[in-house]
A and B are shown apart, each in its own frame.
Chain A
């Protein structure tokens, strides 16, 4: 059974930093691209970043370029999101999502999310 477990969320001040993790199990992690998707309170889904199965290709939403960095450690079956220069509009539940292949295939599993709150 595929399991994705996010962690690392919490309260951070504007301008601060945070690192999210997504521990994966139940599938061949290195064979699957992964994405981070966020959802602000009461709002819709917003894709944040994508990383290929091998980690060599990354893409970002315009709203986070230069501030958020996605990475993965395939030896630990873990996906990361480094977040810097955080702003109030980064407040959201952050989900990791597994793609059905190593590239831009659709998501077939989602984690339960971790809440990031940016506030003073």
Chain B
């Protein structure tokens, strides 16, 4: 089955830019969705279809996924203390008809 890989942790100072990657075989051919999960809360989608932001999600959140690459990226600009959370990438594996989550990345705001 398809596997997506995320770094376990990313740390960034307030006001700086955080970059969280999601790697997978030919992931550029898939749509990647990103969710944020704050401690003790349910997940919330922050990016879907690689780069689309749901209503209510700040413009500081952006996504990319190169058609030729093996990595999708979630970028959070001007990081704030409230962005501290676990972030998960998610893709649909059409060969197995299963949703696949990455292992999650804990974003720490220093």
Interface on A for B, CB 8 Å cutoff?
A: 35, 37, 44-47, 50, 59-62, 95, 97, 100, 104, 106-108, 110-113
Contact = CB atoms under 8 A, between A and B. Distances in A.
B101 A47 contact: yes
Contact of B43 (A45, A50, A60, A62): A45
Contacts, number: 59
A108 to B, nearest CB: 6
B44 A35 contact: no
Given A106-B49, A106-B90, A108-B54, A45 B42 contact: no
Given A106-B33, A106-B45, A110-B44, A44 B99 contact: no
A35 B42 contact: no
Contact of B99 (A35, A108, A111, A113): A35
A106 B90 CA distance: 8
A87 to B, nearest CB: 20
Secondary structure type dominating chain B contacts: strand
Contacts of B92: 104
Contacts of A113: 42
Contacts of A62: 1, 98
B1 A44 contact: no
Given A45-B104, A62-B98, 17 more contacts: A35-B99, A37-B99, A37-B101, A44-B102, A45-B37, A45-B88, A45-B101, A46-B101, A95-B43, A97-B43, A104-B99, A106-B33, A106-B48, A107-B45, A108-B45, A110-B43, A111-B42
Interface string B52-79: 0010000000000000000000000000
30 contacts: A35-B99, A37-B43, A44-B86, A44-B88, A44-B101, A44-B103, A45-B43, A45-B88, A45-B101, A45-B104, A46-B101, A47-B90, A47-B98, A50-B99, A59-B97, A62-B1, A95-B43, A97-B43, A100-B48, A104-B99, A106-B31, A106-B48, A107-B33, A107-B35, A107-B43, A107-B90, A110-B42, A110-B43, A111-B42, A112-B42
A60 B31 CA distance: 20
Interface in B1-51: 1, 31, 33, 35, 37, 42-45, 48-49
